[in-house]
Amino acid sequence: MPSPAFDVARPYRLNPSVALRPEPFGALAYHFGNRRLSFLKAPELVELVRGLDRHPSVGDALAGVPDARRGAFLRALASLAAADMIIPQHSGTGAR
């Protein structure tokens, strides 16, 4: 079943089925449900992904990212959403 389009106006969070393993380049993200492995190739991206649930939207989470990197981070987040590594956060579900 296709996933809904990635919407930067919505809040997202790290999927509870995903573990992040820190690496010198950033982190490995492993999804225990679908067994997918993703590489987060920047420590700043790892920090962004870990903190998504503290922001009212992806757009707000990206506000602190320098303009030169914002497009790359947005593409990375969309890819992580398509892989079910990050999931939409529904109203009323605060931080973990």
Q: Which two tokens stand for residue 41?
A: 């190739």
Residue 5: per-residue pLDDT: 83
> 41 in a domain, yes or no?
yes
> 90 in a domain, yes or no?
no
Ranges of residues in the chain whose predicted pLDDT is under 50: 1-2, 92-96
Residue 44: per-residue pLDDT: 96
Residue 22: per-residue pLDDT: 97
* Structural domains in the chain (count): 1
> 31 in a domain, yes or no?
yes
Residue 91: per-residue pLDDT: 60
> 96 in a domain, yes or no?
no
The residue range of the domain holding 78 is 12-84
> 6 in a domain, yes or no?
no
Q: What is the pTM of this model?
A: 0.87
